[in-house]
Amino acid sequence: MSMKDIFLAEFKQENWDSFVVSFTDRYLEVDPKLVESAKQKGIPADICQVLLCEMGEYALSWVNKKVPALGDQSPASYLGHKDGENALRAAIMQMPR
């Protein structure tokens, strides 16, 4: 079983929705240029909201790095299809804070 499959099995939409809401106020302070850059990279708005609040500009390069917790795949490799994006959402919720 791949890491993507493991994270996908753990994904719960209602948990993600609550998690994203917790970043609403901070997201209002994020530079709109960063938001536009994330959008151009194909990062979904909800994932963008969390990553930019937590990582700032670093999130834009992080999505292209191989991440051991993601099975040495890049977060970008999870994007573009619903199951991959949901697996990434579950992984993001488990990131240390």
Q: Each residue of 28-82: pLDDT tens digit? A: 999 999 999 999 999 999 999 999 999 999 999 999 999 999 999 999 999 999 9
Assign 97 a pLDDT band (cuts: 50, 70, 90).
Answer: confident
Residue type at position 96: P
Helix, strand and coil percent figures for the chain, each rounded to 5: 70, 0, 30
The pLDDT of residue 12 is above 90: yes
Per the CB < 8 A criterion, the answer to whether 47 and 85 are in contact is yes
Cβ atoms of 8 and 90 closer than 8 Å: yes
The two structure tokens encoding residue 4: 């993507």
Q: Which residues contact 86 (CB under 8 A, 6 or more apart)?
A: 7, 8, 11, 13, 16
Give me Rg for the CA atoms of the chain: 13
Question: pTM to 2 decimals?
Answer: 0.94
Q: pLDDT value at position 23?
A: 97
